[in-house]
Structure 1
Amino acid sequence: MAVERHDTPRARVTAQARELRFDAGALCLDLVATVGRRPVAPIERMGDAARLEAWCRGVGMTLKSGYEPQDVLRSLHELRAAAHDIASCTLGARRPRQQSVDLVNLRAGAEPPAPRLEPSGDGEWVPKGSRALTEEALLSLVARDLIDLVTDEGRRARLTACASEVCGMLFLDSGGGRPRKWCSMRRCGNQAKAAGHRRKAAAG
């Protein structure tokens, strides 16, 4: 009887693995990061209304009242799949699916809110999410950020993927000093170090 082999290491689905990520370095990549552990064992991190609200808060956005959460989630999930396809193909110098390109162009066509400068009174500036957005405006902001990321030479050069085989998160490197290998030292970096110590101990 043949024994099934798993070349990619498995990892437990912990509470941390289900956490939303806001450290990808770009709005569009923060959306892509709402699915964890691609493509080994995908984990949905934004699957209900509460997680949608939490994600919007995390990226500094607010949706106008009266929106239908499931409709917004469906649209964001579609855009997320297209964004992942385009960003990962850009990183791998491959051609993305045409339907991904068409969807991003369609969403980018909606008019986003005009940028504003609003002093808060204490020397700070009011964040960009201080004004409520329509669903179309939110999708447009994400799509336009993706277009800027893959067409701007400086940002595109910083696009990378976490070296962990059970993570693979896409993120923008800071661009200063040594290139980052892990999406986060606190997460994948520490896990890799611990796994290395265990291998050395077993070999010893």
Structure 2
Amino acid sequence: SGLVPPGTPLTHAGPSWPLAFRELRGSVRQLVSGWLHGEARPTYDPALALAHVNSVARAAPPVPRAVRARDGALVRELDAEPECAALLAVVARDAVELLTDPVARAALRQCAGDNCPIVYVDMSRGRRRRWCSSEVCGNRERVARHRRRAALART
């Protein structure tokens, strides 16, 4: 996902790491959903979700450094093995940037695919993107549309 440079060992990652990332994802999802759908009476506590994201963002992110590779080129590596809190902070800080930037926040979209929960930032020209993936959700929609037209033509 780009949180750490390629080849960074994460052998010290514990079983609590995935849970912590899922909890953060849930808080971010709640805040994004509240923004997208303007929930007047949300089924969650928006203040609690916001407090969780802000709390996680406080930790210091992993410290990168430049080192020479075998071929002499400079490559990025981390100063020390990244801790869970540091990696979570990177994700939380990205969420804070997204949710506080009016331009980025205005580009948030919910995928128009049937039952697709994915939210994305629409960076397309004209801001008319409809699906999280044209190859997956977009293709499903086009196939369904074709089948509806074919069924109408048969009747």
Decide whether the 8 Å contact of 2:57 with 2:89 is kept in 1: yes
Alignment partner of 2:61: what SS?
coil
How much does 1:118 deviate?
A: 6.3
CA contact (8 A) 2:107 2:127 kept: no
* Conservation of the 8 A alpha-carbon contact between 1:158 and 1:175: no
CA contact (8 A) 2:111 2:130 kept: yes
**For the residues of structure 1 that align with 2:67 and 2:36, how far apart are their CA atoms?**
37
1:87 aligns with 2:32: yes
C-alpha distance in structure 2 between counterparts of 1:173 and 1:119, whole Å? 37
The answer for the alignment partner of 2:149 in structure 1 is 200
Candidates 151, 168, 188, aligned match of 2:137: 188
Q: Write the deviation string for residues 117-150 of structure 1: whole angstroms up to 9, x where unpaired.
A: 668698x8746xx424210001101111001001
Residue pairs, 1:121-140, within 5 angstroms: 126=75, 130-131=77-78, 132-140=81-89
Q: Per-residue displacement from partner, 1:18-64 (whole Å, max 9, x unpaired)? A: xxxxxxxxxxxxxxxxxxxxxxxxxxxxxxxxxxxxxxxx3342564
Query: Which of 1 and 2 has higher RCO (CA within 8 Å, sep 6+)?
Result: 1
Match of 1:133, SS state, is coil
Which residue is 1:66 aligned to? 12
AA aligned opposite 1:77: R
The structure with the largest helix share of the pair is: 2
The TM-score normalised by the length of structure 2 is 0.79
Task: Pick closer, same or farther for the CA change 1:98–1:195 going to 2, 3 Å.
Answer: same
RMSD (Å) for aligned C-alpha atoms: 2.6
Tell me by how many angstroms 1:116 deviates.
5.2
Larger Rg: 2
Mean Cα deviation higher: 100-109 or 130-139: 130-139
Count residues in correspondence.
144
Instruction: Give the unaligned 5+ runs of structure 1.
Output: 1-57
Q: Give percent identity, aligned residues only.
A: 34
Helix, strand or coil at the partner of 2:126: coil
Question: Which residue in 2 is equivalent to 1:168?
Answer: 117
Given the alignment of the two structures, is residue 110 of structure 1 paired with residue 56 of structure 2, yes or no? Answer: no
Q: TM-score, normalised by structure 1?
A: 0.61
Task: Extract unaligned runs of 5+ from structure 2.
Answer: none
Contact 2:109 2:121 in 1 (8 A): yes
